[in-house]
């Protein structure tokens, strides 16, 4: 499977469309495996950071697609 780490889009609409097409192209098991990986990474953060009290910076957003 080809991994894409960065996709530069010209607009938010184009970025959302790319994300939708990319995730729909994955199998259900691969989408589930990706979500599990993100969950495991999240759980490694200190609790203060997870509650938003620690590190300042960009907030991470995870969107669950059907």
What is the pLDDT tens value at each position of the chain, 66 positions in all? 666 578 888 999 999 999 899 889 999 999 899 889 888 888 887 765 556 555 555 556 666 655
**Res 44: pLDDT:** 82
Q: Which pLDDT belongs to residue 60?
A: 61
pLDDT of residue 14: 94
Secondary structure in 3-state letters for the chain? CCCCCCCCCCCHHHHHHHHHHHHHHCCHHHHHHHHHHHHHHHHHCCHHHHCCCCCCCCCCCCCCCC
């Amino acid at each position: 499977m080809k991994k894409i780490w960065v996709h530069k889009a010209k607009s938010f609409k184009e970025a959302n469309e790319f994300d939708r097409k990319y995730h729909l192209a994955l199998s259900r098991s691969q989408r589930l495996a990706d979500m599990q990986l993100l969950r495991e990474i999240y759980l490694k953060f200190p609790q203060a950071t997870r509650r938003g009290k620690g590190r300042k910076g960009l907030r991470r957003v995870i969107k669950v697609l059907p």
